[in-house]
Amino acid sequence: MAVSWIAPADLPPLRPALPGYPEEGQEAAWAALCAWATEILYALSGRRWAGEQESEVELLAPPASAVLRGGLPTPELVAGEVRNAGCCGEPQLLRLPHGAVTAVTAVSIGGELLAADSYRLTRGRYLEDRSGRGWPTCPPGAVVAYRHGRPPPEGGVQAARALTLAVGRAEADPSGAGQELPNLVTAITRQGVTISRRSVDQVTSAGRTGLYEVDAWLAAVNPSGRRRRATVWSPDVDARAYAPPTP
C-alpha cells in the first residue's frame, strides 16, 4: 500500500460532483479516488514511491544471549519474572522496521523523552545511541517516532492529479462531453448511480491507463514495465535488529 500522492486540496476547486455522494461526502469521495489513482500509479511505476509517512514503534534490542548463541535466548527467573539472560550489555544500534527512513522525530524510554543529541540516524535505517547507555533489551523498549518512505517526483504528482480528474469527470459525465473517457471506467448507471472501475490488478496487468500524459510519465520512469523496484542483497549487510557499533 502507498500513501496517497495527492489530496482533494491538490485538485482544482471547481470540479464536478461525484454521483452517489451527498454534498458533505464529496471531499471523502474525491479522497478515495485520489487513493485509487495512487495505487494504480504506484504499481505501474514499479512500486518505487510509497510516499512519506510517520510511524511510531516500540523496539527492544535482542539480549546478548540471542546474539552470541545464534538467536536462541536463555530464559531465567529474575524477581519472579521470566526474562532472557543477557539483559545487560545493551547494543548501541537498533534497526528500524521500515526502509527509506528520512528523519527520527522523537525517542523515549519508559516515558522519558531523550535529548535529540543523544541518538542519531545512521546507515540508512539504524538508530545509534550516543549517550553510552545503549538500547534496552528488557521492557520498556525504546519508543521511536520517525518518518519513512519515498515521496513521488513532481511528474508522479501531476500524473496522479490528471488520472484522478479524468476518472472523476468521466464518472460525473458519462457522455464524455469535451473530454476523454478513460477505459478505466467500465460501466456507469446514471439513474441508479452504479459505477464500475477496473481494479488495480486489472490496470496493472494491462500495463497502462489509457491517458496519454499519465502513460508518458510511466514510460519515462518505468520503460521496462518492472513490477517492483530493484533490490540489492549483500552478506555484509546485517539484517538483524542488533548491529555492532560504528566507529
> What is the distance in angstroms between the CA of the first residue and the CA of the last residue of the chain?
37
What is the C-alpha to C-alpha distance for residues 139 and 72, in angstroms, rounded to an integer? 19
Digit-coded pLDDT (tens) for 62-111: 765 444 444 445 555 555 665 555 445 578 888 898 878 989 999 999 99
Quote the mean pLDDT of the chain.
79
> What is the full DSSP assignment across 122-142?
ETTTEEEE-SSS---SSSS-E
Model pTM? 0.67
Instruction: State the CB neighbour count (10 A cutoff) for residue 67.
Output: 20
The HSE-up count of residue 196 (CA atoms within 13 Å, CB side) is 5
User: 88-97, 151-160, 218-227 — which one is most confidently predicted on average?
Assistant: 151-160
Grid coordinates standing for 142? Answer: 525504546
Give kind and range of the element (H or E) at residue 204. helix 200-206
Q: Is the pLDDT of residue 161 over 70?
A: yes
Per-residue pLDDT reduced to its tens digit, 121-149: 998 889 999 998 889 888 888 999 999 98
How far apart, in whole angstroms, are the C-alpha atoms of residue 241 and residue 91? Answer: 10
- Domain boundaries, given as residue ranges, for the chain: 8-49+152-221, 53-148
